[in-house]
Amino acid sequence: MALTPTDVKEYPNSYMFDIGMPSLKSGDIKVSVEDENVLVISGERKQEEAKEGEKCVRIERRVGKFMRKFVLPENENTDKVSAVCQDGVLTVIVEKLSPP
Amino acid sequence: MALTPTDVKEYPNSYMFDIGMPSLKSGDIKVSVEDENVLVISGERKQEEAKEGEKCVRIERRVGKFMRKFVLPENENTDKVSAVCQDGVLTVIVEKLSPP
């Protein structure tokens, strides 16, 4: 979880997932829906290649693969999922189904 | 520290500090040098204002003020400090003094 702290907020017509992912870009992250109602966010923060003459003094930022799964409520429209990555935060919006 | 995980790397002519700060922009962060050899990085991740009809389902991302201090080695040139914030990572570069 430390790699992917997430805020989830509900709005009248959608759910929004805000996931802190510093240094990751859209291409490093996969967003999908499995089993019809499970939102899956996965990816990898890779170790950067050492530059010439580089010496690591302190390493606190975590690297490695991550995966988060969120079971979605029944009223979500999993055909309407959008994702955007900005300033190290991935925002995923899942629209709710219109009431019948 | 959870708000500001930092990697420190040394190069032949400089030190580089990479600090994960998702959602923060340059204007939210202050970088300064105090007591001639202490690099101070501070700022605040503010609670976002709730939008109309918003309901918090889960809150994992931390908000609040933060401050990190790093004692710099004697060979650093604290007149030559640069900082840039991109993709939620603040990169501070402190050049070394040229050898006499």
Contacts of B89 in chain A (CB under 8 A): 22-23, 88
Domains and CATH numbers, chain A: 6-46+60-95 (2.60.40.790)
Cβ-in-10-Å burial (0-12, 13-18, 19+) of A45 comes to buried
Q: Which of A25, A55, A63, A91 to mutate to test the interface with B (most CBs of B within 10 A)?
A: A55
Question: Model confidence over B42-51: pLDDT tens digits?
Answer: 999 888 888 8
**Given this model, what pLDDT does residue B18 score?**
94
Question: Model confidence over B42-84: pLDDT tens digits?
Answer: 999 888 888 889 999 999 988 889 999 999 988 888 888 999 9
Question: Model confidence over A10-23: pLDDT tens digits?
Answer: 999 999 999 998 88
Look at A58 and B6 and tell me if their CB atoms are within 8 Å. yes
d(CA B100, CA B97): 8
Using CB atoms, pick whichever of A9, A20, A24 lies closest to residue B57: A9
Using CB atoms, pick whichever of A9, A22, A53 lies closest to residue B87: A22
In sequence order, the 6+-apart residues with CB closer than 8 A to the CB of A26 are A83, A84, A85
Single out the residue of A41, A87, A47, A1 nearest to residue B2, CA to CA. A1
In sequence order, the 6+-apart residues with CB closer than 8 A to the CB of A81 are A31, A33, A39, A92, A93, A94, A95
Average pLDDT (B11-28) is 89
**Given this model, what pLDDT does residue B2 score?**
60
Look at B87 and A23 and tell me if their CB atoms are within 8 Å. yes
Q: Which of B6, B11, B54, B57 to mutate to test the interface with A (most CBs of A within 10 A)?
A: B57
Question: Model confidence over A48-76: pLDDT tens digits?
Answer: 888 889 999 999 988 889 999 999 988 88
Mean predicted lDDT score pLDDT of chain B = 89
